[in-house]
Structure 1
Amino acid sequence: MNKLKVTIQIRGAAEALLLTDSIEVSVSKLTPSEIIKAVASQNPLLERQIIRSDGTPRLSTKILIDGQPPNSLEAEIEKTASVILSPSMPCDG
């Protein structure tokens, strides 16, 4: 399976933990859900902040596609889309 590379602009806790404001990740499907999981895999502390133990993104994990929240975390996005991930402090367990 071919992996797609995508550059993600990161803000908040992710930016502080990864010490950068953008990161390139590889995903098998270009969906918000896969992007969130790929960014989370970059740091165990970040993973706990943005992904629940069941693998779903926390409510405090915000992702914008071309400046807008996606209608679905499973919908494929355009390769040229601008993606911003901004996790805040989790408060939803």
Structure 2
Amino acid sequence: MNMHDNENDEPTQDVNKLIEGLKRLKARPKQERDQLFKQLLPAILDAQEREVSQKDLLEFLKSSGLKLSPNTFRAKIEAAKLELLQINSASGLVQAA
């Protein structure tokens, strides 16, 4: 019977080790950049609404540790706007003009 107890404990210990290992994993730099961009997106869109130049936005983001090329910046903004439009459309928040 002790033999079975040990067999049952080992897989549990292995699973626990795997879980702890997964918890220690960190996002790669691109993933971190994408996550940060998503968090900053509302403020970025607000700055654009206030007509802050793309150059100023990119310089500020770069000085804050988020370096993006102009093309990547535009692509991320357009993708985010499209995603918001799809979310709003799916929830019925978009009204026909």
Shorter-normalised TM-score: what interval?
under 0.3
Higher helix share: 2
TM-score (norm 1): 0.27
Q: Which has the higher contact order (CA 8 A, sep 6+)?
A: 1
Higher strand share: 1
TM-score (norm 2): 0.26
